Structure 1
Amino acid sequence: MNLKYFFIILPMLLVGQAIAQQRNLIDPLATKETKALFDNLYKLSEKHTLFGHQHATEYGHGWSGDADRSDVKSVVGSHPAVIGIDLSGLTGQSEAQIGKTKEHLRKNVIDTYNRGGVTTIAWHFSNPVSEGDFYWKDSVSLPAVGYIIPGGKAHDKYIKILNDIADWAKSLKAPDGNLVPVIFRPYHEFDGDWFWWGKSHCTVDEFKSLWKFTVSYLRDTAGVHNFIYAFSPDNLFNSEQQYLERFPGKEWVDMLGTDNYGDMGRDGKYNLDAAIKKLRIVSAYAQKNGKLAAFTETGLESLTNPNWWNDVLLKVMKNDKIRMSYVLVWRNDTKSATHFYAPYPGHPNIPDFQKFYNDPYTLFEKDLKDIYK
């Protein structure tokens, strides 16, 4: 080999190796399918973004529980590439009901895997130390984070809850014998005050302790090795420093995200420059630290803007210096005439969504090939 080329190529190879080494999951024992999903999401995000919809295959506008159905599939012929589910039903219910929920969610995850799609998991966690659900209510709620972290009065109760989640995670066995990988996104929108784990209800150190203990227990004690861990505040930041205020450290997070409805048309208010700036902050930090990035929640309730998909969402996401592995819009309620975020048959938004679907930048379930290999 010509020495001149050797000294040019060698640094490039070393840089490539360093980046490859840097881009590792935080779980060294992650299953090969989980590693493959992580790597493939990273590669696809160079030129594409997977489209996701919360509860897409569980229910939709005017229906619930139908096999192999989603409003998105009814409109464009393919399920979303990413299906959102929620572990909310694993706490605050009777044991019998929790058992049914576990089985329902397990089937949903395995069905999505068998079709070649991806599952992301939110956790609207009922307050474990006071009455009430996941929302903060001044007259009812207790600041549970301080109770359930190590040293807290309800720490043992939290361990039992995590054991339940771990058992469920380890039950996600597909017909091919593999454990199904999932993206686990606990304690989202923690920079707001509306959830009991929110900013006003725990200190920075308490939140970091909660995050680190949760990951450490699931991964190192309970032996869960099919989780990709996602960190996602709301849109209440304007700098990297603000974004990282409650960040537990890059050794505790695989995916960086943000939820943003406020800049994307909620209450008729649009601030696309702000949305772009925030996604760039997330994307840049993910890139330099070998992490995935995602637009973990967004959407326009009722889809009142007939061109929202292309003039708003794609306009924001296709900006330079933004690299997102997926974007997820919120759910379509079964009964509400107004609470929906994806079009359903007959909705006037369909032509714009069809254009969004046909754009080479967006990937739906039918577009995914061997994402776990």
Structure 2
Amino acid sequence: MNMHLQGRLNVEPKLVSPRASENARRLMAYLCDLYGRRMLTGQQYGIDETPEVDVIFRATGKYPAVGGFDFMNDSPSRVERGTVGMDTERAIDWWRQGGIVTFCWHWNAPAGLIDEPPDRGWHRGFYTEATTFDIEAALRDDTCEAFGLLMRDIDAIAVRLKQLRDEGIPVLWRPLHEASGGWFWWGAKGPEPYIKLWRILFDRLTRKHVLDNLIWVWNGQHRDWYPGDAFVDIIGEDIYPPERTYVSHIDRFRQVLGYTSKNKIIALTENGPLPDPDRMIADGAPWAWNCTWYGSFVCEKREDGTWDVGEQYTERWMLNKFYDHPFTVTRDELPDLTRYPLPEEREIGKKA
């Protein structure tokens, strides 16, 4: 690993939240200590069926360290059409079992759902093609109805995040993801309204709702969309290479280093095929964690209705290699994150 990269891996465990919770600070301290030395294994839960982590455990004997969850079905425009969000409760269970929690939010547009199946049905309302909702217009006037609906939706998700806060759960919080791609409505009008919405979201959740348990993971995927160092703790990239392609993604890792001159942890926040840990080490691409997407990316349903490893994207041998590798961390290897020492506690220990 070259010296320049080595220097970029030294990240101070300071959070952008004005009054970060103790457990959030402890998790960040752990992530900073681990960064560059080992990578946390991670897996996204399915929305409707959730066999992923059990399939992994049956195949490897281990659970991922990071569980990925989604507030998709908590979006008000989905709730009013009958969805019931279950992932908050799943995340609480995951934390109680010793895992780390990360959340994204496929934010169904607050209004303007086209609702023309199959590609533009209401259930696809986070996609630009499935809604007429205009983020730029909504943010132009904070007295307009559209702006009010944005705030309504943020407040609805805040209720869920408060449940996690009240359980003492720090959240690797990854909202407004993949913005620069333009396929989600929050990225449909370019960087300026997107960055404005990110900062509004940050301010409303941290100040109005006093959500001190959030570690802010920005996943905009282009430097022009970066909201600023004061609003981002960790940078994530979502990468889906072709089937059975087990590369390190060193090119994307280096790309992220150009988003800001400040040292930030870099994570592989979504992936299809698993990255090969040996290649990550050899290439110098030490992603902090990965989060394999759900469904066919990791499992398949047999004819008898049971679930097994699906090898379309990652073959069984690579799944086992990944979970057995000394570079990767599985859930059983995690410390008690409610007791992980903070920097100031270590200083006291040294003096004693």
Q: 2:256 aligns with which of 271, 277, 282?
A: 282
Give the aligned residue type for 1:247.
Answer: Y
Q: How does 1:62-141 map to 2 (within 5 A)?
A: 70-91=54-75, 92-94=77-79, 97=82, 100-101=84-85, 104-131=86-113, 132=122, 133-137=125-129, 141=131
Does 2:223 align with 1:223?
A: no
Partner residue, 2:272: 299
Is the contact between residue 266 and residue 288 of structure 2 (CA under 8 Å) also seen in structure 1?
yes
Distance in 2, Cα, partners of 1:293 & 1:143: 31
Give the aligned residue type for 2:88.
Answer: R
Does 2:194 align with 1:207?
A: yes
Distance in 2, Cα, partners of 1:50 & 1:79: 11
Q: Give the Å deviation of 1:294.
A: 0.3
Partner residue, 1:265: 242
Give the aligned residue type for 1:325.
Answer: A
Does 2:239 align with 1:254?
A: no
**SS at the partner of 2:286?**
coil
Q: 1:114 to 1:156 in 2, by over 3 A?
A: same
Is the contact between residue 62 and residue 331 of structure 2 (CA under 8 Å) also seen in structure 1?
yes
Partner residue, 1:145: 135
Q: Give the Å deviation of 1:352.
A: 2.6
Q: 1:43 to 1:342 in 2, by over 3 A?
A: farther
Q: 2:180 aligns with which of 176, 186, 191?
A: 191
Distance in 1, Cα, partners of 2:285 & 2:173: 22
Distance in 2, Cα, partners of 1:190 & 1:254: 17
Q: 1:285 to 1:193 in 2, by over 3 A?
A: closer
Distance in 2, Cα, partners of 1:107 & 1:272: 34
Gaps of 5+ in 2: 1-6, 114-121, 301-306, 341-352
**SS at the partner of 2:277?**
helix
Q: 1:283 to 1:111 in 2, by over 3 A?
A: farther
TM-score w.r.t. the length of structure 2 is: 0.78
Is the contact between residue 24 and residue 290 of structure 1 (CA under 8 Å) also seen in structure 2?
no
Q: Give the Å deviation of 1:121.
A: 0.8
Q: Percent same amino acid at aligned positions?
A: 25
RMSD between superposed Cα atoms in Å? 2.9
**SS at the partner of 1:233?**
coil
Q: 1:27 to 1:364 in 2, by over 3 A?
A: same
Is the contact between residue 56 and residue 70 of structure 1 (CA under 8 Å) also seen in structure 2?
no
Partner residue, 1:369: 335
Distance in 1, Cα, partners of 2:31 & 2:327: 14
| Worse overlay, 89-98 or 207-216 | 89-98
Partner residue, 2:298: 341
Between the two proteins, the alignment pairs up a number of residues equal to 309
Task: Find runs of 4+ consecutive structure 1 residues off by over 6 angstroms.
Answer: none
Cα deviations by residue, 1:315-338 (Å, 9 ceiling, x for unpaired)? 543244433210111002xxxxxx
Is the contact between residue 299 and residue 308 of structure 2 (CA under 8 Å) also seen in structure 1?
no
Is the contact between residue 276 and residue 316 of structure 1 (CA under 8 Å) also seen in structure 2?
no
TM-score w.r.t. the length of structure 1 is: 0.74
Is the contact between residue 231 and residue 253 of structure 1 (CA under 8 Å) also seen in structure 2?
yes
**SS at the partner of 2:41?**
strand
Cα deviations by residue, 1:119-163 (Å, 9 ceiling, x for unpaired)? 1111111111311411122xx522532244362531111111111
Q: 1:97 to 1:41 in 2, by over 3 A?
A: farther
Q: Give the Å deviation of 1:50.
A: 0.6
Is the contact between residue 215 and residue 233 of structure 2 (CA under 8 Å) also seen in structure 1?
yes
Q: 1:324 aligns with which of 276, 283, 287?
A: 287
**SS at the partner of 1:180?**
coil
Cα deviations by residue, 1:253-274 (Å, 9 ceiling, x for unpaired)? 111011111xx225x8x6958x
Partner residue, 1:233: 220
Is the contact between residue 143 and residue 197 of structure 1 (CA under 8 Å) also seen in structure 2?
no
Distance in 2, Cα, partners of 1:97 & 1:290: 43
Distance in 2, Cα, partners of 1:205 & 1:96: 31
Cα deviations by residue, 1:301-349 (Å, 9 ceiling, x for unpaired)? xxxxxxxx4xx533543244433210111002xxxxxx33358636563
Distance in 2, Cα, partners of 1:96 & 1:193: 25
Distance in 1, Cα, partners of 2:150 & 2:98: 33
Q: 1:189 to 1:319 in 2, by over 3 A?
A: farther
Partner residue, 2:326: 360
Is the contact between residue 277 and residue 325 of structure 2 (CA under 8 Å) also seen in structure 1?
no
Q: 1:181 aligns with which of 170, 185, 188?
A: 170
Does 2:224 align with 1:245?
A: yes
Q: 2:27 aligns with which of 37, 47, 50?
A: 37
Q: 1:284 to 1:43 in 2, by over 3 A?
A: farther
Give the aligned residue type for 2:14.
Answer: N
